[in-house]
Structure 1
Amino acid sequence: MSKVAVIVTDFVEDVEYTSPVEALKQAGNDVTVIEFEAGKTVKGKHGVNIKIDKTIDEVKPDDFDALLIPGGFSPDQLRADERMVDFVKAFLLASKPTFAICHGPQLFIQTGLTKGRKMTAYVTVRPDLYYAGAEVEDQPVVIDNNLVTSRAPDDLDQFNHAIVDALK
């Protein structure tokens, strides 16, 4: 069983949170949802309510084995907070399993660690990754060592399979 951190805030793409989290839990992993404020409930773009377990100030990367970053408008808000960026950066530097879908890879740009990494993202995020030095592919799932990225909700089956496999 792995301990997986999920960083999220309002306007996350609902299914990009619910589907991977369900897959991770069904595979026996422990999931902790992290945001700016504990005990709060954030709302997805389509109305899903997500209860926050811990604040970013209450956790450290060493508490977790892996990280999940769902897409939607959430990653754009998260990347404006240096604490979130530092949290993500620590997972990448430690080569811990790190998973991001759709707009989630926006956070990697803020870390300065995209150069030479293979990844994918939503169509509008791919040029940003490219300009930040990533090797961008238009595939449902791109795996670069412990970094697993995916494009959009249509790719969730492949993404979920890949992230569960990465934790075996």
Structure 2
Amino acid sequence: MKSILVFLASGVEILEVSPFIDVFGWNSVVGDKGNPIKLETASFGKDIRCTWSLGLKTEIDLSVDEIDIDRYDALVIPGGFGMAGFFKDGKNPKIQDIIQKFYKKNKIIVGICTGAILLGEASVLQNKKATTYFLDNERYFSQLKKFGAIPIKGTIVRDENIFTTANPESALRMAFILLEILTDKKNCDLVKENMGYKIKKKREN
């Protein structure tokens, strides 16, 4: 069984979390039953507060639980707001170590919006093309150079197995991209259609 670890820092933005929960939840119901994908959430403490004060309970408490990296195929880090304390958890040596281990094992790593900053803090963006939130006077985007990254003003940027994105809107698209990578295009289109998203059909000549 394939598995995804989703790290939720305090102050995470729920719109960057829910697409992954929904897409892979729908996949378990209407997708390829022969290739189930398990999604697990982790945080420091099992109760966290999101950017807009919504409370979430996670399955793994990183302050006491250890992570077996080999159990997972991908790591997803949704972004959040600094005013809600998002970046504090990203400086924790334990999550930085987890990110580095995923990187060293060449597993998929996804940083949504300001989640890319946590990847930079863990020193995995050096000489990598990357993006992050580039509105608001580019104050987050400008940090990419500090991490040794190659800043790209794109909505979704891939460099080998590292994906970074620029805003909350990109989270849903990235969830479908990840689903397609872990399964295939046919399965991804099936999930999209069942969720109400129209699939463009190629015209026959």
TM-score computed with the length of structure 2 as normaliser: 0.74
Q: Distance in 1 between matches of 2:164 and 2:86?
A: 14
What are structure 1's unaligned runs of at least 5 residues?
Answer: none
Listed as ranges, the matches of 1:50-129 within 5 Å are 50-56=56-62, 57-73=65-81, 75-123=86-134, 124-129=139-144
- SS of match in other structure, 1:95: coil
* Pairing 1:33–2:44 present: no
**Structure-2 change in CA distance of 1:10 and 1:111 (3 Å):** closer
**1:47: how far off?**
3.5
Over alpha carbons, which structure has the higher Rg?
2
Q: Distance in 1 between matches of 2:149 and 2:142?
A: 9
**1:2: how far off?**
2.0
What are structure 2's unaligned runs of at least 5 residues?
Answer: 29-36, 184-205
Q: Corresponding residue for 1:22?
A: 22
Number of aligned residue pairs: give it.
Answer: 166
**Structure-2 change in CA distance of 1:156 and 1:110 (3 Å):** closer
**1:75: how far off?**
4.8
Q: Which moved more, 1:115-124 or 1:48-57?
A: 48-57
Q: Distance in 2 between matches of 1:122 and 1:135?
A: 14
Among candidates 161, 169, 172, match of residue 154 of structure 1? 169
* Pairing 1:163–2:199 present: no
Q: Which moved more, 1:95-104 or 1:125-134?
A: 125-134
* Pairing 1:136–2:151 present: yes
Q: Distance in 1 between matches of 2:80 and 2:56?
A: 14
Identity, % of aligned pairs? Answer: 23
Q: Distance in 2 between matches of 1:130 and 1:77?
A: 20
Q: Distance in 1 between matches of 2:90 and 2:11?
A: 14
- SS of match in other structure, 2:153: coil
Check the 8 A contact 1:42/1:49 in 2, yes or no.
yes
Q: Distance in 2 between matches of 1:141 and 1:71?
A: 14
Q: CA RMSD in A?
A: 1.8
**1:22: how far off?**
1.5
Check the 8 A contact 1:119/1:137 in 2, yes or no.
yes
**1:131: how far off?**
2.5
